[in-house]
Amino acid sequence: MKKKVPIFIVVLLLVSASRAALGVGFQHEVSKGETLSEIADKYGVPLKSIVQANGILDANRLRIGTMLRIPGKALGGVWYEVQPGDTLSGIAHRHGLGWKVLQLTNDIASPRHLRVGAKIFIPNGSESAFRCPLRVPIDVTSKYGHRYHPITGRYRLHEGIDFRASVGTRVYAAQSGKVIYAGRRGGYGKVVGIQHAGDWTTWYGHLSRIRVSVGGKVDQGQVIGLSGNTGMSTGPHLHFEIRYKGKSENPVRYLTLR
């Protein structure tokens, strides 16, 4: 049995709050009952590296709402503070990114309403554990989150992200792993599920062709199938999910989008 760090652990940050917010790496907000070891497991990074990255001096109580910097595997990047006169496209351009990528990653409703002083996460595209499953220009037709289903009309969680993709577009494994599902599954149509290290899975729905079989090993970037319009779908697209211990996560928090 792994020894658990006590449920509430006081985190003392060596750096000031503002500097931490502008640091490098992914951020994780501590929720009720979470332990440092659980957080370390989730992101697949050693507990020690989280302790070091956050300058944790006393690991007795972890305050709910504390923003922890997670180094390494998760989406890498820098935090930028919006200055007067900044535009989203200007910030994106300076970092060699499309403004839509920044809008998605930061869940900005409208680029016109960019608040001065707001902290924007700029992914650097090099440290992410999950690579985008498509190589065509990113066009998100439906985000992760609650929505009215376009076909059933029911209000429920959209557990993945939809990328526009014409039928026959190559779909790539977001990370290396083992195929745990390859076939039809209800509204998903033809779908592939891949098990990755550390209890993460990725799912690729509405495919027209499947090029892998259950039990097979896949490398990151390997073609696993072709996108399509199978299952409950209103038009050709790829439905992509990232799950941790079976629970869906917002993919834009983990994906390198360009």
Letters for 150-169 (x = contact with Zn ion by CB under 5 A, - = none) are ----------x-x-------
Closest to Zn ion by CB, 111 vs 187, is: 187
CB 237 to Zn ion: min, Å: 7
Please state the separation of Cα 4 from the chain's center in Å. 26
| d(C-alpha 7, C-alpha 35), whole Å | 5
CB 133 to Zn ion: min, Å: 13
Closest to Zn ion by CB, 42 vs 239, is: 239
Closest to Zn ion by CB, 63 vs 147, is: 147
| d(C-alpha 227, C-alpha 246), whole Å | 23
Determine the 3-state secondary structure of 40 from DSSP. Answer: helix
CB 153 to Zn ion: min, Å: 15
Number of residues that bind Zn ion (CB under 5 A): 3
| d(C-alpha 123, C-alpha 43), whole Å | 16
Closest to Zn ion by CB, 25 vs 228, is: 228
Closest to Zn ion by CB, 160 vs 228, is: 160
Single-letter amino acid code for the residue at 172: Y
| d(C-alpha 56, C-alpha 182), whole Å | 43
Residues 38-97 that bind Zn ion (CB under 5 A): none
Considering only CA atoms, which of 140, 113, 134, 121 is closest in space to residue 253?
A: 121
Q: Which residue is nearest to Zn ion (CB)?
A: 239
Element (H, E) at 20: helix 17-21
- Residue 209, both tokens: 């062709």
Considering only CA atoms, which of 35, 45, 41 is closest in space to residue 76?
A: 45
Phi, psi of 73 (to 5 degrees): -55, -40
CB 143 to Zn ion: min, Å: 9
CB 248 to Zn ion: min, Å: 11
Residues 182-201 that bind Zn ion (CB under 5 A): none
* Separation of first and last alpha carbons in the chain: 41
Considering only CA atoms, which of 160, 171, 161, 168 is closest in space to residue 140?
A: 161
Closest to Zn ion by CB, 115 vs 156, is: 156
- Residue 80, both tokens: 């930028």
Closest to Zn ion by CB, 34 vs 162, is: 162
Determine the 3-state secondary structure of 213 from DSSP. Answer: coil
CB 233 to Zn ion: min, Å: 8
CB 141 to Zn ion: min, Å: 8
Residues 210-239 that bind Zn ion (CB under 5 A): 239
Considering only CA atoms, which of 171, 218, 210 is closest in space to residue 194?
A: 218
Site residues for Zn ion per CB under 5 A: 160, 162, 239
